[in-house]
Amino acid sequence: MDFFKRETDITFMAYRRQLAGFTVLLVAAAIAFLMIRGLNLGLDFTGGTLVEVGYPEAVELADVRATLDEGGYEDAVVQTFGTARDILIRLAPDVGQGDSLSNAVLETLRAENPDAELRRVEFVGPQVGEELAEKGGLALIYALGGILLYVAFRFEYRFAIGAVAAVVHDVVVTLGIFAGIGMTFDLTVLAALLAVIGYSLNDTIVVFDRIRENFLRIRKGTSESITNRSINQMLPRTLVTSFTTLLVLLALVFLGGELIRGFAVALIIGVLVGTYSSIYVASSAALALGVSKEDLIPPPKEGEDADEEQP
């Protein structure tokens, strides 16, 4: 626990150029996953019917898919839901909807396994799904625009660019990881992305606030050395916050059930990536844009110069 009480002396910014290359590769890989594999959009965005079926014993997904193919549901998406005994079946909107569709699917499955049990049925229209996807995207854009304006007003435009770059980095990397692992992207994950934006921005603002204070307080030292000192001063607070947040999120992943798992996984990724970006994206970007003490010193009030010149 002594580590969290003492100020470290790590030269973070000495590695910013090397890690800039790693950051670019990470973002490029995330974009590649998004373009090649794409997000596994949930029913909230695609529309269609979701049928949850339970079995007394574990079943093979390949057998369930084969049974559905024989029953005429060739395009059905089949996946486990928590355990190998719980199966989720996602059907396109053009297949049908309502109780008749769910009952027909259940009868098809019971032809191979009479113990299959219907647990849940959900239906979302394609128009509703498109509206949710559009509004979700707009929410992300509005959040980024608000962040840019706030940080530019609160600090300086170079800090604003660094903060927005960090938030965009966090969102893109989180989306890329979801595309890579194929986890379902639904409204709960979208809500987690908005929470990631808030978490990342808070971490970045705390670092920027300390950098500004040190720029005005410390007379000697380069911008890089002052930034290093500011990050070291805030490092114990950042680690404690991230660690306690991760403990709660890990509990949600393992104990919260399947419905909340995507939300918790997105936040875990966001916390880890956001801690990295507040140092090596936001702060590095501000330094690369040439932020200095002079940019943060408030201009003299009218009449001050004249008063100083008088004997």
Q: What are the boundaries of each domain within the chain?
A: 12-40+128-289, 48-124
Say yes or no: do domains 12-40+128-289 and 48-124 share a fold: no
* Better-predicted residue by pLDDT, 119 or 45: 119
Give the 3-state secondary structure of residue 222. Answer: coil
Asked if 219 and 296 count as a contact pair (C-beta separation under 8 A), the reply is no
The predicted pLDDT at position 131 comes to 76
- The answer to whether 240 and 252 have CB atoms below 8 angstroms apart is no
CATH 1.20.1640.10 for domain 12-40+128-289, yes or no, is yes
Q: Is the pLDDT of residue 28 over 90?
A: yes
Element (H, E) at 185: strand 184-185
The pTM score is 0.77
Q: What is the pLDDT of residues 262-287, one digit of tens each?
A: 999 999 999 999 999 999 999 998 88
**Range scoring the smallest mean pLDDT among 37-51, 68-82, 123-137, 148-162:** 123-137
| pLDDT cut 70: percent of the chain above it | 88
Give the pLDDT mean for 296-301: 58
Q: Give 11-55 as a DSSP string.
A: -GGGGHHHHHHHHHHHHHHHHHHHHHT--EE-HHHH-EEEEEEE-
- Give the model confidence (pLDDT) of 29-70 as tens digits: 999 999 999 988 877 777 778 888 999 888 888 888 888 888
**How far apart, in whole angstroms, are the C-alpha atoms of residue 274 and residue 288?**
19
pLDDT of residue 309: 44
H-assigned helices in 111-156: 126-154
Domain 48-124 sits in CATH 3.40.50.1000: no
So what's the pLDDT on residue 206?
87
Q: Closest Cα to residue 183, out of 289, 96, 261?
A: 261
Considering only CA atoms, which of 160, 187, 186, 192 is closest in space to residue 270?
A: 192
Query: What CA dihedral angle connects 186, 188, 189 and 193, to 10 degrees?
Result: 130
More confident residue, 301 or 32: 32
- Name the amino acid, one letter, at 292: S
pLDDT at 84: 82
**Listed range (19-28, 224-233, 262-271) with the worst mean pLDDT:** 224-233
pLDDT tens, position by position, 240-253: 889 999 999 999 99
Predicted local distance difference test score (pLDDT) of residue 297: 60
What are 61-69's contacts with CB under 8 Å, separation 24+?
61/87, 63/112, 64/89, 64/109, 67/108, 67/109, 67/111, 67/112, 68/105, 68/108, 68/109
Average pLDDT, the chain: 83
pLDDT of 281 reads 92
From the list 246, 289, 282, the residue with the least C-alpha distance to 265 is 246
Rg (CA), the chain: 26
For residue range 170-219, what is the model confidence (pLDDT) as tens digits?
999 999 999 999 888 888 898 898 888 888 888 888 888 888 888 888 87
pLDDT in the model for residue 292: 73
pLDDT at 306: 44
Q: How far apart are CA 113 and CA 60, in angstroms?
A: 12
